[in-house]
Structure 1
C-alpha cells in the first residue's frame, strides 16, 4: 500500500509565497510509485483547501492555489473528515515557513490528531522561530553567538528615546534589526545610524510585537544542514557569494544573483568544527528530523552561531538539498524520503510511551 503524503503549504504568514515554491518542489520530487500525494493549500486567511489526489507535475505555483469562502475551523474539520484517509498509512509534510506553520502551532494540531509529520515538534519549532528564545537557549548551552538585545513593542511605545539610548549603550553600530518570529529575511534591515535604526525598528514591529537588535558580525556565513533524530548528522557547510550587504528576501527569492559555493572554502579542521557546532545547536533546541544551522566564520576562524531554521526552504535556490548532494550524493527525492522515514521513526518512538499512569 502506498503512503499518503499530505503536503501543507501557503499559510497565514509573510513567507506564504516562499512556501508555495518549497511545496511545488517537494510535490514534484515525491515518487508516485511509493506515495499518493495530496496538496493542502492554506490560504492567507488560514483556510485549509484540499486539491485532491495529485498525479501530475506542478509546472507553476499558481496551480497550487485555490480560493475558498470556508471558515478556518470548518475547513480543518473538512480536511480531517473528507480528505485524511482513515485506516491507511498517512503522513503530513508541513512545507510551511514562518508563523502559523513553522512556529509549533500546526505541529501542536498534528500531535492532537495523532498523525505522523515531517520535521520538528512543538517545542523546537516554537523556540526555533523565536530568535530571542533561541538565543537565550544557546546562551544557556554556552554556544558562541553575536551580541543581541530584545525589544518589546510596549516598551518602544512607552519611551522610544530611552530604548534607542539603551541599544546604543549596549551594542555598537552597525546593527541588524529583525522581527523575533519570522524568517526568509522578511522585515530585516541593516542600520548604521540612529535615523536608520528608528525606521528599521518601526518596520520590524509591523511583523511582530517583539524584535531583536544584533551587532553586525564581520564574517562569512556558513549554512549547514542537519538531519536525524537521536543521532543527527551535519552536512558539509556551504556559503553564498552575494552582491548585497546581507542576504535579504530579494536576494534569496527574486533577483537570482546569488552564487552558492558548496562545499564552503574552509580549512578541513574548521569545516569539522563548523559541522560539530551545527549538531550542538540542533541538540540544544531538541530538534528532530531536520534543520538548517547558520554559522559565522571570521577571518581568524572563530565560530559564532547566527540562527537555526527548523523548516528550511526547499526551493531551487535552497541550500538543504544542495548540501546533502555534495556531502554524500543524496538526491533531492532521496532526501525527501529520508525525512519521511525519520518522521515515522519518531512517531513510532512516541507511540511506545505510556499516556496513562502506570499502576504496577
Structure 2
C-alpha cells in the first residue's frame, strides 16, 4: 500500500524561501507509486493552506493548487490539514515531512504539535530541534560532551540595550578580532557578521538583534570548513566528509543561495585519519543533543589539524545540490533513496515511542 505523506513547507521564518527550494526538490523526487502526497503550505504570516493531492509530477511549488477557501489559521489548521492518525491508518497520514527551516518549524514548535497529535514525522524531535536551533544551548551541550569548540560568549537584547559599552568590552576581553556575530536561533547564515574592529562589532550586534533576542559571538579561526552528514536514530551512520570553500570572507546567505559564491568538494581531501575523527565527533554531537533522523555536523579544521565543532543543523538544506544530500550521494545513497530512508526512520522512531507507558 502507498504511504500517505503530508509535506509541510514555507513557514513563518526568515528562511521561508529556503524551505520553498527544499519543497520543490523533494516534490520532484518523491515516487508517486509509493506515496500519496498532500502539500501543506505555511505562509510567511503563519497561514496554513492545504493543496490538492499530487497526482503527477509537479515542476514547481507555484504549480500546486491552493484554494483561497483552504486558508486557515495555524490553530484551525490542526483539523483542516487532517494531521491525525487512526489506529487502523485508514484516515489521516502515515507520516508528516516538515520541510521547514528556521524558527516556527525547525525549532521544535511544529515537532511539539505533531507529538501532541501522536503523528509520525520525519526528522528530529522536540528537544533536539530546539537545542539544535539555539546555538548557545547547543554549544553548552557540546561543552558538556567534551567536544572541542572555539571560544564564545552570548547576550540577550535587553542586557545589550541596557549597557552596550559593557557588552562590547566583554567581547573584546574574552575574544580577539576577528570574531563572528550570529543570531542564536537562525540558520542559513542569516544575520551573521564578521567583525575585525569595534565599529564592525557594533554594526554586527545591530544586525544580529534584528533576527533574534539572543545572539552569540564566536572567536574567528583560520580553518577549513568540513561537514559530515549523519543519518539514523539510535545507531546513526556517517557520510564521507565534504568541504565548503567560500570565495568570500565567509559562507553567508548570499553565497549559499543567491550568488553561488562557494565550492563544495566531496569527498574532502584530508590528512590520514582525520575523516574518521570527524565522523566519530559527528556521531558524538548527534547523540549529545539526542538527535534522530538527520543532522549535518559542521567543523573547523586548522592547518595544524586541530578540529573544532562549529554546529549541527537539524534540518539542513535539502535540495539535490545541497551539501547534506550530496554527502550521502557520494556515500552511496541517492536523493530519492535518502528521502525514503528518512520516512522509514521517522516511522521507526514513532513506533519506538509507542512502547512508553503513560499510566501508573
Q: Are 1:355 and 2:355 counterparts?
A: no
For 1:1-360, what aligned pairs fall within 5 Å after superposition?
Answer: 1-64=1-64, 66=66, 70-80=72-82, 87=91, 90-327=94-331, 329-357=332-360
Q: Output the TM-score relative to the length of structure 1.
A: 0.95
| Structure 2 contact 247–261 (Cα < 8 Å) conserved | yes
Gaps in structure 2 of 5+ consecutive residues: none
Select between 17-26 and 70-79 the one with higher mean Cα deviation: 70-79
| Structure 1 contact 120–289 (Cα < 8 Å) conserved | yes
| Structure 1 contact 20–64 (Cα < 8 Å) conserved | no
- State the Cα distance separating 1:82 from its structure 2 match: 9.9
| Structure 2 contact 2–36 (Cα < 8 Å) conserved | yes
Select between 81-90 and 129-138 the one with higher mean Cα deviation: 81-90
Indicate how the Cα distance of structure 1 residues 52 and 143 shifts in structure 2: closer, same or farther if over 3 A, else same: same
Indicate how the Cα distance of structure 1 residues 67 and 165 shifts in structure 2: closer, same or farther if over 3 A, else same: farther
Which whole-Å CA distance do the structure 1 matches of 2:177 and 2:213 have between them?
Answer: 23
- State the Cα distance separating 1:232 from its structure 2 match: 0.6
Q: Secondary structure at the match of 1:115?
A: coil
1:9-45 per-position Cα deviation (integer Å, ceiling 9, x unaligned)? 0000000000001111111111111101111100111
Q: Secondary structure at the match of 1:241?
A: strand
1:302-352 per-position Cα deviation (integer Å, ceiling 9, x unaligned)? 11000000011112431111111111x211000000011111111111112
Indicate how the Cα distance of structure 1 residues 266 and 65 shifts in structure 2: closer, same or farther if over 3 A, else same: farther
Which whole-Å CA distance do the structure 2 matches of 1:183 and 1:81 have between them?
Answer: 27
Q: Secondary structure at the match of 1:5?
A: strand
Indicate how the Cα distance of structure 1 residues 13 and 89 shifts in structure 2: closer, same or farther if over 3 A, else same: closer
Figure out how many residues of one structure are paired with residues of the other and give that number. Answer: 356
| Structure 1 contact 220–296 (Cα < 8 Å) conserved | yes
| Structure 1 contact 48–76 (Cα < 8 Å) conserved | no
- State the Cα distance separating 1:211 from its structure 2 match: 0.2
Which whole-Å CA distance do the structure 1 matches of 2:151 and 2:305 have between them?
Answer: 18
Q: Secondary structure at the match of 2:49?
A: strand
List 4+ stretches of structure 1 deviating above 4 A.
64-69, 81-86
Which whole-Å CA distance do the structure 2 matches of 1:142 and 1:254 have between them?
Answer: 36
Which whole-Å CA distance do the structure 2 matches of 1:240 and 1:339 have between them?
Answer: 24
| Structure 1 contact 47–76 (Cα < 8 Å) conserved | no
Q: Secondary structure at the match of 1:25?
A: helix
Q: Output the TM-score relative to the length of structure 2.
A: 0.95
| Structure 1 contact 294–308 (Cα < 8 Å) conserved | yes
- State the Cα distance separating 1:256 from its structure 2 match: 2.0
- State the Cα distance separating 1:122 from its structure 2 match: 0.2
Indicate how the Cα distance of structure 1 residues 18 and 83 shifts in structure 2: closer, same or farther if over 3 A, else same: farther
- State the Cα distance separating 1:60 from its structure 2 match: 2.9
Q: Secondary structure at the match of 1:73?
A: coil
